[in-house]
Chain A
């Protein structure tokens, strides 16, 4: 791969804490290698800021290999930046060219309040899982793993839904800040497996109720969530959730 160097301008959202109003600040960054990851580019800027006696940019990140779901930057109007099925940490600077201006914001959603700069509070997702995103089986209760065969197609579909990393890009991309792709992925993962069957109805109802309580909006049916999902979670999961929910609501009445 040909490698090149570039100078860029970053427009970054700075916000001291949850109560601060916040605003954009511009930073020039020089000698950025096309082989760097996007976050390594931010590292370079932060080292400079610290040396200049300024406050570095706070951002969530951890594994830097696209699986922990921590990183969460809204880059030039798109969660996780321009690449398809990608996380911010896996975005590399060869996506940009010399002279580019890049705007970086936090996830924007009422249910994800900003803590500082680009860091937001996504604990609403944990609470949605607490509402029913599990199979109630205590440790030690299990039968032999091969006692219950699962059709490969269904197992594969459950796996595809379970690939969600809980980053929240779907919420950030949605103009209603809906969390339906996240919720539907979990409901689908568990509903597709025979083990998850006994709790199907209560799970769908309770998780959706919690989602509403957290202040996430309604689905727009525009598919923005699917388009930006780093793990390619399909919008058909939302259709499945709707079916699960309708059935459960019907029976519960």
Chain B
């Protein structure tokens, strides 16, 4: 019953053939068709812009005060594309292959190949929009390398690539707003999908300024609402990032794919105390130039700069000589945890490792710059000074950010870093056309499950968000809407809108009337603690079973003792947050259930029961080469559907970066 609608034919022809035969909607009919886009990050803004350009009537929604603030903005390092501008052997096939392998063979081949194909168009489009990517002196685009690959295919704009790409998409969307093709609703949060005759036909949302519920019709609904990393409370996500839109869709019938696939990013600033509200990423691109190490001696209390070279353990270079510091994220994160658990961690909490730039500052950049300037036999001080200038240009804003947060200067002392929740590969199950199993309900970007398997490679999230929005949905949505041209807009007085709005209002009333003693935040923190300890970097059956029981208990407590101040008909951020946390609690249970079911290790999902003798993740392709798509069947009750994954081109092998 799960039809992924993958086109027939050879892998590299599928998308070409699909585009050649997909149904089209003529321009006059496009004007009569309304599309709702929820979320205005890279996927949502690019989809709204592209669909508006085509002539569809688009309504876009975001909970932030401006669409430009969606969390895609915070992406630092870069965006991949198979341009092969570096002449270093890159190709569409290699990007496809690296992504499937990096995802530990749990992604859908056809989707990934399409992603690699359109990656080149994204860079062209963004440059045409005025996205100021880094350039060489000759005026052409520059690239850097990222984890899990051996070519330089990452385009970047210093440490704020996400901001520049999002501003590009935002501006393209605002242009459509000005032209009347897109209507924008900021400070609006979607709280349910409206279903009419088995199809998604609209949404109920809450105006976050005055608290009013609103009904909006659409011939199709696109969820571009990002990931759910905040289920862990502490993550690199923005404070407002949430699962609510996707979760409401799930409860209306959309299957949730691989919910347990979460990415723990290896290089984040460590937790400093109980007051911590979020974690800050230090871009993976820093691993190009920073070397990761811990002292060779346990519980070494010396300062980093006082530990001599021969007493440092560059454990990634030691364990993975081929990829060294550029192993994929899941591998780097587990290796850091392993060292800290074994007692080699650094800093006051001992839950940190060093990321040290001194070597490359001197040897890579310092010497190159000295060479350019014709300085013979430069001393170390000169090399450091010259190297610093280059590093400042490449990563200046990241170094500044680190110093603001920690009070330490990373040009002088190594950064202290530790893994943190960063991205969720799981999400709503979608077919090749990005439609969920609910007709007319689409899901794009991080919110869907499709392209990254069990582990996402660096600089691929931006690529996927923009691929889905600019170059996939404009084609695939036509295949559905072509059959909808006779459907007149359904008035929002329709019974389905009335009923759905009533259910939303009832839930809000219930929440407000609990009038308990504990704050929303305190529940969120407790949920996060359960998830991090039992469904985090390492998982086992016993822990997961305990977590499920604990979460069910937490849910009961939440619904009987949460305290939400203020009223309904006003701006009330605590009420917004309460709705989101209630959904996170339910999602947390499903994640643990999925993690328990998947009795193998793959990518970011590490089951302690399934590892090699060297402690590496051990996949089980015989039993688990499938997408776990969960159907909601009522409280704490889900049915598992499997989409078997077939690898015709990228044949699964044990992933090795040694």
Q: Does A55 contact B (CB under 8 A)?
A: yes
User: Are B566 and A159 in touch, CB under 8 angstroms?
Assistant: no
Known: A69-B69, A83-B404. A155 touches B135 (CB 8 A): yes
User: Are A139 and B50 in touch, CB under 8 angstroms?
Assistant: yes
User: Are A139 and B160 in touch, CB under 8 angstroms?
Assistant: no
A residues near B521, Cβ cutoff 8 Å: 43, 47
* Residue interface mask B608-646, A partner, CB < 8 A = 1: 000000000000000000000000000000000000000
A residues near B381, Cβ cutoff 8 Å: none
A36 to B517, alpha carbons, bound, how many Å? 25
Q: Does A247 contact B (CB under 8 A)?
A: no
B residues near A134, Cβ cutoff 8 Å: 129-130, 171-172, 174-175
User: Are A54 and B565 in touch, CB under 8 angstroms?
Assistant: yes
Known: A35-B272, A135-B128, A152-B136. A50 touches B563 (CB 8 A): yes
User: Are A63 and B272 in touch, CB under 8 angstroms?
Assistant: no
Q: Does B20 contact A (CB under 8 A)?
A: no
A193 to B129, alpha carbons, bound, how many Å? 10
Q: Interface extent on A, as a size class?
A: 35 or more
User: Are B124 and A145 in touch, CB under 8 angstroms?
Assistant: yes
Q: Which of B160, B517, B566 contacts A163 (CB 8 A)?
A: B160
Q: Which of A115, A126, A196 contacts B67 (CB 8 A)?
A: A126
Nearest-CB residue, chain A, relative to B209: A115
Q: Does A240 contact B (CB under 8 A)?
A: no
Q: Does B530 contact A (CB under 8 A)?
A: no
Q: Which of A43, A91, A162 contacts B275 (CB 8 A)?
A: A43
CB distance from A192 to the nearest CB of B (A): 9
Q: Does A251 contact B (CB under 8 A)?
A: no
Known: A33-B273, A126-B186. A64 touches B128 (CB 8 A): no
A residues near B53, Cβ cutoff 8 Å: 138-139
Q: Does A216 contact B (CB under 8 A)?
A: no
Q: Does B132 contact A (CB under 8 A)?
A: yes
Nearest-CB residue, chain B, relative to A186: B171
Q: Which of A51, A56, A70, A158 contacts B65 (CB 8 A)?
A: A70
* Residue interface mask A201-243, B partner, CB < 8 A = 1: 0000000000000000000000000000000000000000000
B residues near A165, Cβ cutoff 8 Å: 73, 163
Q: Does B177 contact A (CB under 8 A)?
A: yes
Q: Does A250 contact B (CB under 8 A)?
A: no
User: Are B571 and A58 in touch, CB under 8 angstroms?
Assistant: yes
A residues near B124, Cβ cutoff 8 Å: 142-145
Q: Does A150 contact B (CB under 8 A)?
A: yes
CB distance from B553 to the nearest CB of A (A): 22
Q: Which residues of chain A from 111 to 139 have any CB-CB distance to chain B below 8 Å in the complex?
A: 115-116, 119, 121-123, 125-126, 129-131, 133-139
Q: Which residues of chain B from 111 to 139 have any CB-CB distance to chain A below 8 Å in the complex?
A: 121, 123-130, 132-139
Q: Which of A17, A43, A140 contacts B571 (CB 8 A)?
A: A17
Q: Does B406 contact A (CB under 8 A)?
A: yes
Nearest-CB residue, chain B, relative to A191: B130
User: Are B167 and A162 in touch, CB under 8 angstroms?
Assistant: yes
Q: Does B95 contact A (CB under 8 A)?
A: no
Known: A145-B124, A145-B141, A159-B158. A43 touches B277 (CB 8 A): yes
A150 to B404, alpha carbons, bound, how many Å? 33
A residues near B406, Cβ cutoff 8 Å: 1
B residues near A98, Cβ cutoff 8 Å: none
B residues near A130, Cβ cutoff 8 Å: 174-175, 177-178
A207 to B67, alpha carbons, bound, how many Å? 19
User: Are A94 and B407 in touch, CB under 8 angstroms?
Assistant: yes
User: Are A68 and B125 in touch, CB under 8 angstroms?
Assistant: no
* Residue interface mask B271-286, A partner, CB < 8 A = 1: 0110111101100000
B residues near A102, Cβ cutoff 8 Å: none
B residues near A136, Cβ cutoff 8 Å: 175
A232 to B606, alpha carbons, bound, how many Å? 43
B residues near A135, Cβ cutoff 8 Å: 128-130, 171
Q: Does A90 contact B (CB under 8 A)?
A: yes
Q: Which of B46, B130, B273 contacts A189 (CB 8 A)?
A: B130
A39 to B139, alpha carbons, bound, how many Å? 41
A149 to B407, alpha carbons, bound, how many Å? 40
Known: A55-B565, A67-B160, A166-B68. A126 touches B139 (CB 8 A): no
Q: Does B64 contact A (CB under 8 A)?
A: yes
Q: Does A249 contact B (CB under 8 A)?
A: no
Q: Does A37 contact B (CB under 8 A)?
A: yes
A150 to B166, alpha carbons, bound, how many Å? 21
Nearest-CB residue, chain A, relative to B131: A162
A residues near B236, Cβ cutoff 8 Å: 65
Nearest-CB residue, chain B, relative to A41: B275
Select the residue from A53, A63, A94 with max chain B CB neighbours within 10 A: A63
User: Are B121 and A140 in touch, CB under 8 angstroms?
Assistant: yes
A residues near B140, Cβ cutoff 8 Å: 146, 149
B residues near A121, Cβ cutoff 8 Å: 65
User: Are B128 and A86 in touch, CB under 8 angstroms?
Assistant: no
CB distance from A185 to the nearest CB of B (A): 11
Nearest-CB residue, chain A, relative to B522: A47
CB distance from B450 to the nearest CB of A (A): 21
User: Are A159 and B138 in touch, CB under 8 angstroms?
Assistant: no
User: Are A158 and B130 in touch, CB under 8 angstroms?
Assistant: yes
User: Are B401 and A126 in touch, CB under 8 angstroms?
Assistant: no
Q: Does A246 contact B (CB under 8 A)?
A: no
User: Are B405 and A92 in touch, CB under 8 angstroms?
Assistant: yes
Nearest-CB residue, chain B, relative to A151: B139
Q: Does B543 contact A (CB under 8 A)?
A: no
User: Are B132 and A158 in touch, CB under 8 angstroms?
Assistant: yes
B residues near A69, Cβ cutoff 8 Å: 66, 68-69, 73
Nearest-CB residue, chain A, relative to B167: A162
User: Are B66 and A122 in touch, CB under 8 angstroms?
Assistant: yes
* Residue interface mask A48-62, B partner, CB < 8 A = 1: 011101111010111
A196 to B129, alpha carbons, bound, how many Å? 8
A213 to B135, alpha carbons, bound, how many Å? 37
Known: A44-B275, A63-B238. A145 touches B127 (CB 8 A): yes
User: Are B71 and A125 in touch, CB under 8 angstroms?
Assistant: no
Q: Which residues of chain A from 9 to 61 have any CB-CB distance to chain B below 8 Å in the complex?
A: 16-17, 33, 35-37, 39-40, 43-44, 47, 49-51, 53-56, 58, 60-61
Q: Which of A50, A144, A145 contacts B565 (CB 8 A)?
A: A50
Q: Which residues of chain B from 2 to 58 have any CB-CB distance to chain A below 8 Å in the complex?
A: 46, 49-50, 53
Other 20 A-B pairs with CB < 8 A, given A70-B69, A130-B177: A1-B408, A17-B570, A51-B517, A55-B565, A58-B571, A62-B238, A65-B74, A65-B280, A70-B65, A85-B400, A122-B65, A131-B178, A139-B49, A140-B125, A140-B471, A145-B141, A148-B127, A155-B132, A155-B135, A165-B163
6 tightest A-B CB contacts, nearest first = A149-B139, A1-B407, A134-B171, A142-B128, A159-B132, A142-B124
Interface residues of A (CB under 8 A from B): 1, 16-17, 33, 35-37, 39-40, 43-44, 47, 49-51, 53-56, 58, 60-70, 83, 85-86, 90-92, 94, 115-116, 119, 121-123, 125-126, 129-131, 133-146, 148-152, 155-156, 158-159, 162-163, 165-166, 189-190, 193, 195-196
10 contacts between A and B (CB under 8 A): A36-B273, A40-B276, A47-B521, A50-B574, A61-B239, A63-B71, A65-B280, A134-B174, A135-B129, A155-B133
